[in-house]
Chain A
């Protein structure tokens, strides 16, 4: 039984990875979902699959291991949140970029290694720590007594 599920996990992960590497943004999101499915099943399988009762104390024992189940329950919810967030980001990215080709997103800095310091995205703005306008000295020479 474990071997069967191990094979299933492998299949799900393989499909997920292949999707993750595709250029279409939707497929990237779907790929992550598939990897999540594989991961959840893997966690359960690793703990051993036995034909015991579910961990509900109202039923007569012996019970299966409750701990991986608790872990997976958390993982399912987090996985859902991740998918939702990614999907929304994908949506925004598509709206901003006007296309859904992941490979063409971003600055692709590698194309511009010969820039002045290789990383100025906006030549007008030096960086977050550099004010755009050099303010005058804030040290004001007080001329108290002769104002």
Chain B
């Protein structure tokens, strides 16, 4: 399992390197990365009988963070699903992408995502789970924004990222709360009773839900999924239909065992899921872009899965797991189909296409199977899991069932709307000459569509797969079976009603379209999102303009006032120690006089030469002070630096104007005098307050060990080059960087023009 998670990460680096060299063939390498995930089918075949295996790699023990992968049935099932779809998407993209695509980047991102997703479903450690969760958000951002030169791709990437990351932060908090309340960071090692009794239970539950809803695009967070369709189609099939968007569903499934006892859990998830089901399919029916239709359809199907897992009973979890498999099969297949249509005709717009079954027969077969599964017609897998869905909802009340039927009828309608591109007279953009796609595109789509068919014709296969998760999700006691014919049950009647409604919607498609156009509200999640983002931008830029956009002196005044208030408080709280001035040694009095003269003189200096000479005097004064205060090294350095500084100033003054002081407004002048005086007084008091040892100084260590460890008798030097060698190295680096900067600026200045005008002339 550890290998299954880590290999995609390792191969991502390889793919980045191979991309420019192998071109599109990098996809085969990418598909290899999913082999260990596919091999997880071996332990899965032993489920639900065998106990789950646990592989732990210590990572940061102090944080209770470990790479713990637990192979229970549900995790393995999902990992296998990721492996299958991931490998198929990699192979599909080989034929799909254009020659000029940056393969190294694409496959590296794709593999990073695959590894993160596998880690997410297999991780037993809550902290690591959060880490993988965030990594899927980041890689999804990169993949959606792959064609970053298009504004729509950037917008979609940012939107998806913002929404997912809000949920990610919520998950971090939830994980922390669960860890504290449950006394463990391991999902399987949690003390469930302690968690349920803890006051942190409800906040953790709500935060988990926020995370799951944002990731799985539930209302009102569904807005990012349609814009995520800017990603290349293989990515959409992999991330935005079969895997990443189901991360929230997985979270609800796994944490449902912890939180399911609470009425709040079902009370929130089921209504939200059903609302998402209906609203998503309602919006899907309106789309003209095939991928947008599929995106909204994914939103609605995720709502269905959410509501089933949210029932928090064995029946719901059984039905949801069955539908999870079906949905992955038919939805990824449909994405692949739409990719083929796009690839062959150059457009995804429904009105521009028709009759494609004549030129794309294989694709049509795959599309038909997948779409019928989505619509819930026998003998396909989608029909069976829809029956179970109705059963589950029926047990919780007729109202739930009514909503479910409404959503499913809309689903039925848009499934047939999708198939419209294959029926009727042949229609496609004039410059396209569609012909059947190469096998690299049709085989993945066909395989998945056949899977959907097998799940229906041989329900035993789907049931066996679903049953592997029974140990992990506690539905072992549920005795239901997947089969096509259950006899005449309420669910069957509801299904017939669904078909009737759906058929009506298909038959009256034109009128339904008009009705939808009339009923669509002006505000939707997207307008709210843009209002928020733009509003934030405007507020931020105005705030910055008002606070950071001032002239430099005013900016400094604000900073100094703030600094003065903060340090002033510190000085005021610190006990003052007033030493008597005593009798300073006479040798130091001239030095002090020099420093005073320098400080006063520079304020009075009118010409630049006077100013720099006076500054130099102060520098030499401070060198003299160092000498008097028993610091010969400092005096020497100060003298050297002072000499160079004066030379530098004199050089610069060839080009600079005088240092006459420009007049300040009266209140600014007053403020400055006040600021300068308080800074001076504050500095004095600060020094006085600090002349106390709160702890014994550490300096004796240096005095004792300087010769013994550093081999030098000048302790200051030994500290600089031995005890604190890296500090000095950093300091040298800083000086070197400054030298480069100075050189660059000076050379710019030698042209005597601004660089822009220089560039214009060149």
Q: For residues 482 through 498 of chain B, which have their beta carbon under 8 Å from a beta carbon of chain A?
A: none
Q: Cβ of A15 and Cβ of B599 under 8 Å apart? A: yes
State how many angstroms separate the Cβ of B340 from the closest Cβ of chain A. 12
Q: Cβ of B742 and Cβ of A42 under 8 Å apart? A: no
State how many angstroms separate the Cβ of B150 from the closest Cβ of chain A. 6
- Given known pairs A23-B661, A85-B742, A134-B151, the reply for A80 and B630 (CB within 8 Å) is no
Q: Which residue of A lies closest to B628 (CB)?
A: A49
Q: Cβ of A57 and Cβ of B706 under 8 Å apart? A: yes
Q: Which residues of A contact B713 (CB under 8 A)?
A: 56-58
Q: Which residue of B lies closest to A102 (CB)?
A: B552
A7-B578 Cα distance, complex, nearest whole Å: 12
Partner of B702, one of A7, A19, A67: A67
Q: For residues 577 through 606 of chain B, which have their beta carbon under 8 Å from a beta carbon of chain A?
A: 578-582, 584-585, 588, 592, 595-596, 599-600, 602-603
Q: Which residues of B contact A140 (CB under 8 A)?
A: 98-100
State how many angstroms separate the Cβ of A125 from the closest Cβ of chain B. 13
B531 within 8 A of A: no
Q: For residues 1 through 53 of chain A, which have their beta carbon under 8 Å from a beta carbon of chain B?
A: 1-15, 17-28, 30, 33-34, 37-38, 40-42, 44-53
Q: Cβ of A102 and Cβ of B553 under 8 Å apart? A: yes
Q: Which residues of B contact A38 (CB under 8 A)?
A: 683
Partner of A64, one of B342, B630, B645: B630
Q: Cβ of A104 and Cβ of B551 under 8 Å apart? A: yes
**Residues 149-184 of chain B: 1 if any A CB is under 8 Å from the residue's CB, otherwise 0?**
111001000000000000000000000000000000
Q: Which residue of B lies closest to A126 (CB)?
A: B151
- Given known pairs A22-B664, A110-B546, A134-B149, the reply for A48 and B691 (CB within 8 Å) is yes
A72-B579 Cα distance, complex, nearest whole Å: 24
Query: Dominant SS at the A interface?
Result: helix
Q: Which residues of A contact B568 (CB under 8 A)?
A: none
Q: Cβ of A45 and Cβ of B691 under 8 Å apart? A: yes
Most A C-beta atoms less than 10 A away, residue of B150, B629, B644, B727: B629
Q: Cβ of A77 and Cβ of B637 under 8 Å apart? A: yes
Q: Which residues of A contact B630 (CB under 8 A)?
A: 50-55, 64
State how many angstroms separate the Cβ of A100 from the closest Cβ of chain B. 5
Q: Cβ of A91 and Cβ of B655 under 8 Å apart? A: yes
A15-B688 Cα distance, complex, nearest whole Å: 19
Q: Which residues of B contact A51 (CB under 8 A)?
A: 585, 630
Partner of B544, one of A85, A119, A139, A146: A119
Contacts between the two chains (Cβ within 8 Å), count: 350
Q: Cβ of B728 and Cβ of A24 under 8 Å apart? A: no
Q: Cβ of A46 and Cβ of B687 under 8 Å apart? A: yes
Q: Which residues of A contact B232 (CB under 8 A)?
A: 139
B648 within 8 A of A: yes
Q: Cβ of B716 and Cβ of A73 under 8 Å apart? A: yes
A133-B560 Cα distance, complex, nearest whole Å: 44
Q: Which residues of B contact A42 (CB under 8 A)?
A: 683, 686-687
Q: Which residues of A contact B697 (CB under 8 A)?
A: 47, 65, 67
- Given known pairs A21-B557, A70-B716, the reply for A87 and B687 (CB within 8 Å) is no
State how many angstroms separate the Cβ of A101 from the closest Cβ of chain B. 6
Q: Which residues of B contact A110 (CB under 8 A)?
A: 545-546, 549-550
Q: Cβ of A113 and Cβ of B546 under 8 Å apart? A: yes
Q: Cβ of A139 and Cβ of B631 under 8 Å apart? A: no
Q: Cβ of B749 and Cβ of A146 under 8 Å apart? A: no
Q: Which residues of B contact A19 (CB under 8 A)?
A: 602-603
Partner of B662, one of A14, A23, A85, A96: A23
- Given known pairs A42-B683, A80-B644, the reply for A138 and B100 (CB within 8 Å) is yes
- Given known pairs A11-B595, A84-B738, A103-B551, the reply for A91 and B719 (CB within 8 Å) is no
B715 within 8 A of A: yes
Most A C-beta atoms less than 10 A away, residue of B588, B596, B659, B746: B659
Partner of A15, one of B602, B663, B690, B731: B602
Q: Which residues of B contact A119 (CB under 8 A)?
A: 541, 544-545
Q: Cβ of B622 and Cβ of A33 under 8 Å apart? A: no
Q: For residues 126 through 142 of chain A, which have their beta carbon under 8 Å from a beta carbon of chain B?
A: 129-131, 134-135, 137-142
Q: Which residues of A contact B257 (CB under 8 A)?
A: none
Q: Which residues of A contact B703 (CB under 8 A)?
A: 55, 57, 61, 63, 66
A107 within 8 A of B: yes
Q: Which residue of A lies closest to B738 (CB)?
A: A81
B556 within 8 A of A: yes
A80-B612 Cα distance, complex, nearest whole Å: 14
Q: Cβ of B584 and Cβ of A1 under 8 Å apart? A: yes
A53-B662 Cα distance, complex, nearest whole Å: 47
State how many angstroms separate the Cβ of B651 from the closest Cβ of chain A. 9
Q: Which residue of B lies closest to A62 (CB)?
A: B703
- Given known pairs A7-B684, A26-B611, the reply for A73 and B544 (CB within 8 Å) is no
A79-B566 Cα distance, complex, nearest whole Å: 24
- Given known pairs A55-B716, A65-B697, A83-B645, the reply for A118 and B542 (CB within 8 Å) is yes
A117 within 8 A of B: yes
Q: Cβ of A94 and Cβ of B661 under 8 Å apart? A: no
Q: Which residues of B contact A13 (CB under 8 A)?
A: 679-680, 683
Q: Which residues of A contact B734 (CB under 8 A)?
A: 78, 81
A73-B585 Cα distance, complex, nearest whole Å: 24
Partner of B716, one of A22, A69, A130: A69
- Given known pairs A69-B716, A139-B147, the reply for A21 and B676 (CB within 8 Å) is yes
Partner of B634, one of A72, A80, A129: A72
A106 within 8 A of B: yes
Q: Which residues of A contact B693 (CB under 8 A)?
A: 48
State how many angstroms separate the Cβ of B109 from the closest Cβ of chain A. 15
Q: Cβ of B634 and Cβ of A69 under 8 Å apart? A: yes
B681 within 8 A of A: yes
Q: Cβ of B618 and Cβ of A85 under 8 Å apart? A: no
B407 within 8 A of A: no
Q: Which residues of B contact A14 (CB under 8 A)?
A: 599, 676-677, 679-681, 683
- Given known pairs A8-B596, A49-B629, A69-B631, the reply for A27 and B716 (CB within 8 Å) is no
State how many angstroms separate the Cβ of A123 from the closest Cβ of chain B. 14
Q: Which residues of A contact B707 (CB under 8 A)?
A: 57
B608 within 8 A of A: yes
Q: Cβ of A3 and Cβ of B578 under 8 Å apart? A: yes
A42-B615 Cα distance, complex, nearest whole Å: 18
**Residues 644-680 of chain B: 1 if any A CB is under 8 Å from the residue's CB, otherwise 0?**
1100110010011111111110000000110111011
Q: Which residues of A contact B634 (CB under 8 A)?
A: 40, 44, 69, 72-73, 76
Q: Which residues of A contact B42 (CB under 8 A)?
A: none
Q: Which residues of A contact B615 (CB under 8 A)?
A: 30, 33-34
Q: Cβ of A134 and Cβ of B150 under 8 Å apart? A: yes
A141-B632 Cα distance, complex, nearest whole Å: 76
Q: Which residues of B contact A44 (CB under 8 A)?
A: 626, 629, 631, 634
A9-B644 Cα distance, complex, nearest whole Å: 23
State how many angstroms separate the Cβ of B276 from the closest Cβ of chain A. 30
Q: Cβ of B542 and Cβ of A18 under 8 Å apart? A: no
Q: Which residue of B lies closest to A130 (CB)?
A: B151
20 residue pairs from A and B, CB less than 8 Å apart: A4-B588, A10-B680, A13-B679, A15-B600, A23-B662, A45-B687, A46-B687, A51-B630, A55-B716, A73-B633, A76-B641, A78-B735, A80-B641, A81-B735, A92-B748, A111-B549, A117-B538, A118-B541, A118-B542, A142-B99
Query: Residues of B with Cβ closer than 8 Å to A?
Result: 98-101, 147, 149-151, 154, 232, 342-343, 346, 432-433, 435, 438, 537-538, 541-542, 544-546, 548-554, 556-557, 560, 578-582, 584-585, 588, 592, 595-596, 599-600, 602-603, 608, 611-612, 615, 618-619, 622, 625-626, 629-634, 637-638, 641, 644-645, 648-649, 652, 655-664, 672-673, 675-677, 679-688, 690-691, 693, 697-699, 702-703, 706-707, 713-716, 719-720, 724, 727-728, 731, 734-735, 738, 741-742, 745-746, 748-749, 752, 754
Q: Which 9 A-B pairs have the closest CB atoms?
A: A109-B549, A14-B680, A10-B684, A118-B541, A18-B676, A10-B680, A57-B713, A15-B599, A140-B98
**Apart from the given pairs A42-B687, A65-B697, A83-B648, 11 other A-B contacts in the complex at a CB distance below 8 Å:** A4-B581, A10-B682, A11-B596, A17-B560, A17-B679, A24-B660, A26-B658, A56-B715, A74-B728, A87-B649, A113-B542
